[in-house]
Structure 1
Amino acid sequence: MTNDPRANIGSPTPEELREQVEHTRNELGQTVEALAAKADVKAQAKEKAAAVKGQAAEKAALVTDQIRAKAEHTAQLVKDKTPEALREKTSHAATQVRENASRAGQYAADVTPDPVLDRAAQAAAVARANRVPLLAVAGAALAVFLLVRRSRGRRR
């Protein structure tokens, strides 16, 4: 016994032949599309670049979160172990530094030419408007730096 449908019937009808031809055409079209996709190196490179970019962004966000958590934890430990008298002196010194920095900034603004101030204001506005991409780039750069540093440490 065979499972060949042609063995069970005589010759196929014209309608059956049309269906077989249409089915074969569909399969051939799908095969050609699959081969064309495999041959499109540019599209594959774009997809790979997008995937790598996404992975880098995820890694940068993860590393940023880890660093932020560790910094908060460390700051809390330092605060807990620092005597109150030292914290008060540090607070007073920080206030003086802020005041002196404010005065120095005001002096710099007073003596800086207006065109330079205008350019600085424009640069600051662009940075504020593009805060997320700048942070993403900074995070990615930090991740690359840490990975390079880590890999160099393993070689020694």
Structure 2
Amino acid sequence: MTQPSHDEQAASSPEDLREQVEHTRQELGQTVQELAAKTDVKARAQETAVAVKEQAGQKAAELSGQIKAKAADAAHLVQDKLPDPVKEKAAQAAEQVKAKAGQAGQVLQDKTPEPLRERAGQIAPLVRENRTALFTAAGALLAALLLLRRRRGKG
């Protein structure tokens, strides 16, 4: 039998011995769990990947904010450098375009039948959700029409 270390006292009773054994078992169990966690390469790699992903997201958000701030600064610098007559003409042109667009929108709305407006209101969210697919389909249709036209022109 081994001798107790200097830190351990010899058990004076069977109950003390049982407590020491239980304590040693718990320490051994914790040590085994720690060693198992260190050897679980997949879990450690996943933890590292999550940490790196979070850091990248934070850095991207930080950079995005910096880029937005610099773009706003650049826009202000350009605006400050523009001569006043150019600023005034640009503001007038913007107001005219806005007014014309409002008028055109009102005429279009007045002339569009109610059932068509209702149907357009139902379709608009679907179009917004599937924008990429619609643009792809429109591009394919345009390419097909151009090929058809080219073939007819040669024939």
For this structure pair, what is the TM-score category when the shorter chain's length is used for normalisation?
0.5 to 0.7
TM-superposed CA distance for 1:82, in Å, is 0.7
Give the 3-state SS of the residue equivalent to 1:93 in structure 2.
helix
CA distance in 1: counterparts of 2:127 and 2:34, whole angstroms: 48
**Residue 17, structure 1, aligned to residue 17, structure 2:** yes
Give 2:31's aligned residue. Answer: 31
Give the 3-state SS of the residue equivalent to 1:5 in structure 2.
coil
Unaligned runs of 5+ in 2: 130-155
Give 2:152's aligned residue. Answer: none
TM-score w.r.t. structure 2 length?
0.56
Q: Give the total of aligned pairs.
A: 119
Give 1:69's aligned residue. Answer: 69
CA distance in 2: counterparts of 1:21 and 1:12, whole angstroms: 10
Greater Rg by CA: 2
Q: Which amino acid aligns with 1:12?
A: A
CA distance in 2: counterparts of 1:95 and 1:58, whole angstroms: 40
**Residue 118, structure 1, aligned to residue 122, structure 2:** yes
Give 1:98's aligned residue. Answer: 98
TM-score w.r.t. structure 1 length?
0.56
Pick which of 110-119 and 17-26 moved more: 110-119
Unaligned runs of 5+ in 1: 127-156
Q: Give deviations 1:92-138, integer Å, cap 9, x for gaps.
A: 111122233444555389486633422424787x9xxxxxxxxxxxx
CA distance in 2: counterparts of 1:35 and 1:97, whole angstroms: 71
Q: Which amino acid aligns with 1:118?
A: Q
In structure 2, relative to structure 1, the CA distance for the partners of 1:98 and 1:48 (3 Å cut) is farther
Give 1:50's aligned residue. Answer: 50
Give 2:143's aligned residue. Answer: none
Give 1:41's aligned residue. Answer: 42
In structure 2, relative to structure 1, the CA distance for the partners of 1:105 and 1:32 (3 Å cut) is farther
CA distance in 2: counterparts of 1:117 and 1:66, whole angstroms: 38
Q: CA RMSD in A?
A: 3.6
Q: Percent identity?
A: 45
CA distance in 2: counterparts of 1:61 and 1:123, whole angstroms: 29
In structure 2, relative to structure 1, the CA distance for the partners of 1:120 and 1:55 (3 Å cut) is farther
TM-superposed CA distance for 1:24, in Å, is 1.4
Higher RCO (CA 8 Å, separation ≥ 6 residues) = 1
TM-superposed CA distance for 1:25, in Å, is 0.9
